[in-house]
Structure 1
Amino acid sequence: MTNKLKAFILTLFFIFSVFIGTSKEIWVAPYGNDNNPGTKEEPMATLLMAQRKARELRRLNDPSIQDGIKIILKEGTYYIDETVFFRPEDSGNFHSPTVVMGADGEKAVLSGGKKITRWQKAGTVKGLPAEAKGKVWEADLPKVGGRWFEFRQMWVNGNKATRASTLGDGVLPRILSVNKQNETFGIPVPDFKIEDIKQLEFVIHQWWAIANLRVKNLEFSADSAIISFHQPESRIEFEHPWPAPYINEENNPGGNSAFYFVGAIELLNQAGEWYEDLEAGKVYYWPKEGENLKNADVIVPYLETLVRVKGTRENPVSNVTFKNIGFEHTTWLRPSQAGHVPLQAGFYLLDAYKLKIPGTPDKAGLENQAWLGRQPGAVELINAVQVNFERCNFAHQAATGIDFIAGTSKSKVEGCVFSDIGGTGIQGGYFGDDAFEAHLPYNPSDIREVVHHIQITNNLVTDCTNEDWGCVGISFGFASDITIEHNEVSHLNYSGICTGWGWTPTVSIQRNNKINANYIHHFAKMMYDVGGIYNLSVQPKMEISNNRIQDLLKAPYAHIPEHYQYIYLDEKSTYVKIHDNWTEKDKFFSNSPGPGNEWDNNGPQVSDEIKNAAGIQPEFQDITDKVPEAI
């Protein structure tokens, strides 16, 4: 080869390299060292320090990043002690994006959990049921900062263990009476005796929600018991009008509100159950058959939020992509600290009461006032643009999976799996807060507050709502231009996909939303007043089309057993177009809708072509292999 030919080839190679571009790579591995340069051969140890290295390259405008930065995580679990923040300084741009990714073909997981080790057979444990004696193991509680910490979930070899409760002990009992003045319930006498109720909780089924109430006192008589609760949840529980505890005064076939107890050593009576004793500093667990705690991987959650992407309205975080990353093991402790009384979809009441004289400027007949709090997300986004999640895995979480809270746009979640989520899988938009009453229309003066142009496509959302039964698979409140398309949503306790908020007849920022070609099945396992697809309030140019909805399960404790539907337009739903949705039955419902709704060709007669095209598209079908076929 002549020197001229060599030079020509090198020139072509240089031109080709510039044309295709090469991103700067920063490698991270569990066995790495943060003093390493971050190459594949000498990786760093933490995402935090790799992120800082990338940030400095951005700050200095280093020539190596002209085509972008890739932070590549090698296979393994990265246990993080604090929420990882992505700020405006971490932003990329159109030509030089920032990508945080797991190495190709490898499983990289960010975990907010702590391991529990050194298990041994428990000796005499006061209060342990007779059937559990000799079968329960114990370990010291993990510590952070030299102190034990509280948790409400535990996973053994990747499977969720059950917090000791009466939920699995048979048919749930029902309350006998409600005394709002004394803030008490009358209940049947429990068939167990709890000597110390310090961690005992009462979970009650209330129409489309459940409430977690910390027990303050339990007094027994011959044929009933009176139960009272701690504040602030006690006041809220007995003041809020919707959804309230139910007493059957109309001879409905379902009966009074059902309930169960959780959080006492006396309730640990089955394999797979556990109990945390915060005074003794111990956790107790009855292993399932085949589990060996000497070598088991036992993890409890510590962090509420793993990753928070947060910019400002003037300077949002932009052009960041998360790809092939696992987000696992998050906690949520409010129910243990202040109870949990939701209004709907997991949004908990900070204050709520019935107006003596109904009516507000927006709604003449309104009697229900409510101010809300929001469950934490494992990943949260505030003031972000073009932040995407591709083929990520969200699992083992106590509350929400991913939450587009405010000011976020032009972003997508695609090809991701959401499983074993305590609350809602994917959530976004505005739902009110402690300063904005939940039944008001949301029309902010600064449009930059709004969540808009979000694409939720080809995701698998399954086994969510397994802590808070009233949450949903995918939920967007006040938001616009949201596309929810070709997802599979299944095995939920309440509704599948929900859009809209406010119960309001006033036009707001929610509009131009689309729910198309989703496959929704096995929902309404425990709750009712439910829809496979559910909408609230005015939604100009809202379209619900080409969806497949089936396997609507009948909740066992509904006091109105037939109050379920495949598509549900709830209060003041207006200007919604519903067409070409296949459902196994012709069962739809509208509750006080507004004008302009169009129904066309919905039900079991819809073509097989539409039915079979719904759900995850072929190029993403492989994600369904990541969770069991049936939950």
Structure 2
Amino acid sequence: MSFQKIGHLIAVSALFLGATVATAADQATFYVAPNGSDSNKGTEEAPFKTITQAQKAVRAINGTMTGDISVILRGGTYQLSSTVNFTEADGGKDGFYVRYKAYPNETPLITGGIPMSGWTIHDEKNNIWKVEGVDARFRQMYVNGKKAIRARMPNLLDNGDHNFFRLNKVDSAGSAFLVNNSDIGEANWKNLNKVEIHLMIAWAESILRLESATKNGNVTKLEPRDPERTKLFKRKYPMLGTAFMSNPPKQQVYYLENAYEFIDQPGEWYLDESTGTLYYKARAGENMATANVVVPRVNTLFSILGKDTKNKVGYMSFEGITFANSNFLRPSEEGFLDLQASMFNIDVLPENGRLGSNKFLLWRPDAGFRVENAHHFKIKNCTFTQMAATGLDFVSGTNDDVIEGNVFYEIGGCGIMLGKFSQDSTTEIHIPYNPKDKDEISTRDTIRYNLVTNVTNEHQGAVGIAAGYPRYVVIENNEVSYTNYSGISVGYGWTKSETAMTNNKINKNNIHHIARLLCDSGPIYTLSNQGTGSEIKENYIHDMSQSKWSDYWILPIYLDEGSSGFAVENNSYKNAPSGVGRNAPGQFTEKNNNGYIASVAEAAGLQGEFKNIGDRINTIPLPDFSNVVPQAPFVENMTIPGTIEMENYDEGGQSISFNDKDFVNEGGVYREDGVDITQIDSTDKTKGYAVGYTQAGEWMEYTVNVTAGEYVFLANVASGLEGSSFQLFMDGKAISDTIVAPKGEDWNTYGTVEGKTTALEAGEHVLRVAITGAYLNIDWIKFGKSADEIISIKPSVRYGLNMDISRSSTLNVFDIRGQHMGVIRVMGMPTTSSVMQAMHAKNFKSGVYFVQSVNKAFGKMIQVK
């Protein structure tokens, strides 16, 4: 960081003290506006430009609070280049709130999207347009505020509803699907390994990428790619193959997605990743020269993350803000196998062989707004829209929070998620969740007066409101509609054993037009032992019926396996199945759940000031990217030959100047965006920074001035695991081979690897450093015309040293991602046996770990299964 930048930060900190004090009730009020400046004082007359600058202003004064602190967002577009992260340092205290809220009668739009402009005609006869040079990756696109259709076959119906083909047969032995040639034609798609099959299986939907398509007579054999192929064909549930209880027997339905050849309907689009070309068949009346076209780039827009369950974010609220355009790329990278309520398979554990296992490891999709470890937290009168997966997710460690008066519209997965669905991604899901740390359980949270509609439209097995294992949750007076599976789902685990749940109340909700595709669903669906005092009362359920595409039936209020502890009373039905559906529940009581009750219908759903919040759907603003942040150097005059420091990647943000796959800034130093930057030596800042916590597919870009020629280079790297690697690109073209970083002692011991470039042209170019093998820390790369030019750079430590860990009996334990999991102690010289015994004694889950002496100078890292 330059002295100029440091001086600027000091000056801004001083300005914070001059912010306006609005009223006696408020300690301070700051203003933010898209046309503001971060060098302003944050007053109404001189607002900040960015939310992160207001965040700094709050942190400067919230150590002692005498009233609320308000951050007022003026109307307009706030484009995020990466996740905005809030921690316990950003909250209020002593009952006083930090409030981020809209200026009266204005609509601030927080977008994680980027514009797609520069359209030219590609196929005039078919009105197909294109944009070239697209580097971003996404699965959704919106044209003038309306969702476009990722090219598919068969097409949607004229009214926009889904349409499907039926499988000819599931080839269980070959782990493949047989489809009719009369449906799909010749299957000679250009980029076949990018084509996906979307398969509806009972109550869940699976997305699988294709490996091959082989014609054989009247059928074509579609073989999916791994890892999703192997996982799917190991599962016992949901039931793959001939639809359960179908009479006459019928095969399951599917559609194909993501090929240029599928573009035959107005509104369809396709991104050819091999050429970076985006294609779109315009709808009638759309002028692509002036159209507002947006694609998502940021997975999580806002993250609220307390350090742990004892250090939560407290007393914060977000009010009157619109959040839009979040991304979620896992289906494109590993497929997506929903098990239930959009919780997806991490792994399928051995049980009874192929198509026989009912043991699973799961995790949850990304969310546009994510909250974990927070108390007295409020989301009120906000709008969540155009999100790829979950809209709002209260993950765990939440208590005494309120989600009220919000609109969830055009959401790919669940509108709202709450609480854990399993202990973690390494715990088998049928193990009842009931942690020792009760502060981890989502407790006394309230979800009321929200409109959740037109959701589950990317992941059909998701639900409107999904809660895992909450306790004392109140879900009341919400309107939930237009879902493809259940409306409200509470509980997981399929067990009658004691769980974390108790006293959950699902009352007075208005639920309609649900289960529009899948089956084995209910407007209200529950699982497992919910303790005592739980209620399902006075809900109004109407206008729902079984889809012609579903494998089998749908049910009214549905108490599924283990459901117990409920009083189910006075629920009203109209044009819908009535009564109480049950499948191996525990103890519950029921009364008056058949037919229509007018008083119940009138009092259910949105009431009072929230009655007409659905009107917001018609006023969702289009994003204005006139102030878009272009890619630009973070540090001027970087050159080749010369040294490129990895932490000095260009400005521009996610999918523009870098691609980072997680929402958390793991290192938390030097820069405040998504790239994970670590301090090389925590005790000596002069040793600088490195990019770390990397995953395959991530990259950073650097604007450099190049002197023509071929170069050799040295890179200073560290990795504690096998397989870490990177590759260099210039203006999109590879200029080096893949460079492998040998496994070292850990991620704090750096050494150099070398490579060479192809011939480079003179001038200004963009260098991309692409991570091709995960878990690499990379500090700098130095380029020279010969080894003599860079001979002064020596490796700090030689790789492959045989160090002895016998000098210490205290060991650090890391998981396969390099995350520190804890410390163990063994007597004498550590052996595999003594290490395993020590790990079992501390209740480590089964898996692969890496252990190393706490005193790294005396220990290499060893693997333990």
Is 2:145 the counterpart of 1:158?
yes
Aligned to 2:320: 324
CA contact (8 A) 2:202 2:243 kept: no
| Equivalent in the alignment of 2:283 | 288
Matched, 1:269 2:264: yes
- Quote the Cα distance in structure 2 between the aligned partners of 1:25 and 1:211: 48
- Equivalent residue, structure 1, for 2:136: 149
Q: Cα–Cα, structure 1 residues 43 and 578, in superposed 2: closer, same or farther, change >3 Å? A: same
- d(CA) in 1 for partners of 2:244 and 2:460? 25
Matched-pair contact (CA < 8 Å) for 1:23–1:67: yes
Paired residues, what number?
585
Query: Could you tell me which amino acid in structure 2 is paired with residue 121 of structure 1?
Result: I
Give the 3 Å change call, closer, same or farther, for CA 233–426 of structure 1 in structure 2: same
| Structure-1 separation of matches of 2:466 and 2:442 | 13
Query: What aligned pairs does 1:278-357 form with structure 2 within 5 A after superposition?
Result: 278-311=273-306, 312-353=308-349, 355-356=351-352
| CA offset digits 1:372-403 (Å, max 9, x no partner) | 02101111111110110010000000000111
Quick one: distance in 1 between partners of 2:186 and 2:508?
A: 49
Deviates further, 284-293 or 207-216: 284-293
Q: Deviations over 1:119-142 (max 9, x none)?
A: 11115xxxxxxxx84401111354
1:24-39 pair list within 5 angstroms: 24-39=28-43
Q: Aligned ranges for residues 120-519 of structure 1 at < 5 Å?
A: 120-123=120-123, 133-142=125-134, 148-168=135-155, 171-189=163-181, 190-191=184-185, 193=187, 194-248=189-243, 252-253=247-248, 255-311=250-306, 312-353=308-349, 355-356=351-352, 368-432=358-422, 433-519=424-510
CA distance in 2, matches of 1:162, 1:367: 35
Aligned to 1:78: 78
**Equivalent pair of 1:253/1:559 in contact (CA under 8 Å):** no
Partner Cα distance (2:618, 2:185) in 1:
36
Q: Secondary structure at the match of 1:234?
A: helix
Cα distance between partner residues in 2 of 1:195 and 1:619: 54
Q: Superposition pairs for residues 84-95 of structure 1, below 5 Å?
A: 84-95=84-95
State how far apart, in whole Å, the 1-side matches of 2:595 and 2:243 are.
Answer: 34
Contact 1:552–1:566 at 8 Å: present in 2 too?
Answer: no
Quick one: which amino acid aligns to residue 389 of structure 2? Answer: A
Which SS does the other structure have where 2:274 is aligned? coil
SS at match of 2:472: strand
Q: Which amino acid aligns with 2:279?
A: Y
Alpha-carbon spacing, 1:216–1:603, altered in 2? closer, same or farther (3 Å)? same
Task: Flag the 1:337–1:133 CA change in 2: closer, same or farther, 3 A.
Answer: farther
Distance in 2 (CA, whole Å) between partners of 1:295 and 1:134 is: 19
Equivalent AA in structure 2 for residue 341 of structure 1 = L
Q: How has the CA–CA distance of structure 1 residues 251 and 603 changed in structure 2, closer, same or farther, with 3 Å as cutoff?
A: closer
Choose 1 or 2 for highest CA Rg. Answer: 2
Contact preservation (8 Å) 1:390, 1:413:
yes
Greater shift in the superposed pair: 278-287 or 86-95: 86-95
How far does the alpha carbon of each residue in 1:84-123 deviate from its partner, in whole angstroms, 9 at most, with x for none?
1111111102443100011111000111100111111115
Asked if the contact 2:144/2:292 (under 8 Å) is kept, the reply is: yes
Closer, same or farther in 2 for the Cα pair 1:251/1:90, shift >3 Å?
Answer: closer
Q: Aligned runs of 1:485-564 on 2, under 5 Å? A: 485-540=476-531, 541-560=533-552, 563-564=553-554
Alpha-carbon separation, structure 2, partners of 1:407 and 1:223: 55
Distance in 1 (alpha carbons) for counterparts of 2:477 and 2:86: 29
Amino acid at match of 1:551: D
In the TM superposition, residue 250 of structure 1 has moved relative to its aligned partner by: 6.3
Q: Secondary structure of 1:205's partner?
A: strand
Q: Alignment partner of 1:182: what SS?
A: coil
Aligned position for 1:3? none
Contact 1:581 1:602 in 2 (8 A): yes
Residues 493-543 of structure 1 show CA distances to partners (whole Å, capped at 9, x for unaligned) of 111011011001101111110011000001111111110000001112210
1:280 maps to a residue whose letter is T
Amino acid at match of 2:348: A
Letter of the structure 2 residue corresponding to residue 337 of structure 1: E
Question: Which residue of the other structure, out of 576, 588, 601, is the alignment partner of 1:611?
Answer: 601
Distance 2:351 2:543 in 1: 39
Q: Distance in 1 between matches of 2:409 and 2:273?
A: 29
Distance 1:251 1:534, change over 3 A: closer
Tell me which stretches of 4 or more aligned residues in structure 1 moved more than 6 Å. Answer: none
SS at match of 1:54: helix
Distance 1:19 1:165, change over 3 A: closer
CA contact (8 A) 1:141 1:149 kept: no
From 36, 45, 50, the equivalent of 1:46 is 50
Q: Secondary structure at the match of 1:101?
A: strand
Conservation of the 8 A alpha-carbon contact between 2:411 and 2:455: yes
- Name which of structure 1's ranges 427-436 and 471-480 shifts more when overlaid on structure 2: 427-436
CA contact 1:180–1:238 (8 Å) conserved in 2: yes
Q: Distance in 2 between matches of 1:474 and 1:316?
A: 24
Alpha-carbon separation, structure 1, partners of 2:618 and 2:256: 29
Aligned CA distance change for structure 1 residues 546 and 85 (closer, same or farther; 3 Å): same
Gaps of 5+ in 2: 1-20, 158-162, 620-865
**Per-residue deviation, 1:179:** 2.7
Q: Give unpaired runs (5+ residues) of structure 1.
A: 1-16, 124-131, 143-147, 358-365
- Residues 233-242 or 178-187, more deviating: 178-187
3-state SS in 2 of match to 1:461: strand
For normalisation by structure 2, the TM-score amounts to 0.66
Q: CA RMSD, aligned part only?
A: 2.0
Partner of 2:706 in structure 1? none
Residue 371 of structure 2 contacts residue 393 of structure 2 at CA under 8 Å; is this kept in 1? yes
2:231 alignment partner, SS class: helix
TM-score of the two chains, using structure 1 as the length reference: 0.90
Assess, with a 3 A threshold, how the Cα gap between structure 1 residues 406 and 248 changes in structure 2: closer, same or farther: closer
Q: Is the 8 A contact 1:472 1:496 kept in 2?
A: yes
Q: Distance in 1 between matches of 2:333 and 2:150?
A: 17
